[in-house]
Amino acid sequence: MRHSVGQTRNGLSVVVDLISSPAAKHIAQQPHLLGYAKEILQQKALRNAAATIEHDMGYAIGHSPTVQTTDEDAIFYAQLMRDETYTRFVKKASSQSTQYVTLILRRTSDSAYEIEDIWIGRFYPPRPGALDETALSKSYWNDHAFIFDNQPIQLRSITKIKPY
């Protein structure tokens, strides 16, 4: 189900798949992300085939899902439900307030973009082992983790040994 989000500053339409995109999960949990996306996109002129936007809203909008970790933190790895890639989690960490929203977009035609993902917080690279893993993935996730907040995980996949 494609939902119209709005237009960019240079008049290109922007849509999001509210059923099967990675953005769908975040929007279902935080519907106000659509309003932030619309506000941000009105200020941006997009031209490239893909775009990553990390935008400072200027005021606190929520809490970051990731934190920088230390050797003293309780770290574990697990696969989220219906996910084959391992995620690095930290227990008992407190989330930090953030002013940032991150959008990942790709061009679908000469006059449209689609939001692939959106979240509250600063940009983070794909997890190691993911299909879209980048050169930054391993170095970033070696000292960052998602805060564990009872996300649905595959219990048989839990490990303290780094799987990548």
Sign, CA torsion 128/132/105/116: negative
Distance CA 38, CA 137 (A): 28
Residue 93 clears pLDDT 80, i.e. is over it:
no
DSSP 8-class letter at 156: G
Could you tell me where the beta strands, DSSP code E, fall in the chain?
A: 2-7, 13-17, 50-56, 62-63, 66-68, 75-79, 86-90, 97-98, 100-109, 112-120, 144-147
Assign 57 a pLDDT band (cuts: 50, 70, 90). very high
pLDDT tens by residue, 95-151: 899 999 999 999 998 889 999 999 999 999 999 999 999 999 999 999 999 999 989
Assign 39 a pLDDT band (cuts: 50, 70, 90). very high
DSSP 8-class letter at 159: B
CA distances (Å), 41 to each of 29, 59, 163, in order? Answer: 21, 17, 37
What are phi and psi for residue 139, nearest 5 degrees?
-65, -40
Sign, CA torsion 23/16/12/8: negative
Lowest mean pLDDT among 19-23, 37-41, 90-94, 126-130: 90-94
- Single-letter amino acid, residue 83: D
Chain mean pLDDT for the chain: 95
